[in-house]
Amino acid sequence: MTSTRPGNGSDVVASPFFVISCENDWVHVYDSVRSMLHATDLGSGHPGALEFFDVEGRRLAPVFDGVWALSGLRHTGERANEIRVQRRLRAVVQSLRATVDERLSKSETSFTRAQVLASLPKLNGEGLAECFILLSTNFGDGNGLIGDEVRTLDNGSFLHNLFCHP
């Protein structure tokens, strides 16, 4: 039986990462595993099956503790595939654009369709580290600092909740 616990810690993820639904219709970004584990809304509003990728395009595997609670992420050993993750992120943004009207109809807001669409980043082949920064504003955990200490929006922002916790 393969252990879900990391061995010596060298394979434990310390860098920013993406959580992408298997259906490519939802994404959340975290600057660290610690920020994900401390998120009070983890598990709220996301679809069933999720996959994890670091900003280099490597797939990450969940690590569970003795009571099967998520305790971390580790590298799977698969080769990085930045292009695959870029495509997945673009698919998520396209899916969100296609469902903006439906999402807005279920919420109470003064935001217009045009404002919401303008808040979605245009991902056009940027590296994954840049994609992370572009997505952090509305898809981040809101607890960390990004880049030159620019604080992301908090989990309670309307756009974050519209995209991540409908």
CA distance 17 to 85: 11
Domain ranges across the chain: 17-165
Ranges of beta strands (E only) in 76-149 are: 145-146
Dmax (CA) of the chain:
53
CA distance 79 to 144: 28
Query: pLDDT tens string for the chain (166 positions)?
Result: 333 444 444 456 668 999 999 999 999 999 988 888 877 555 556 667 899 999 999 999 999 889 988 888 999 999 999 999 999 999 999 999 999 999 999 888 888 999 999 999 999 989 999 999 999 988 987 544 333 333 333 445 788 888 887 7
Sequence-separated (6 or more) residues with CB below 8 Å from residue 83: 57
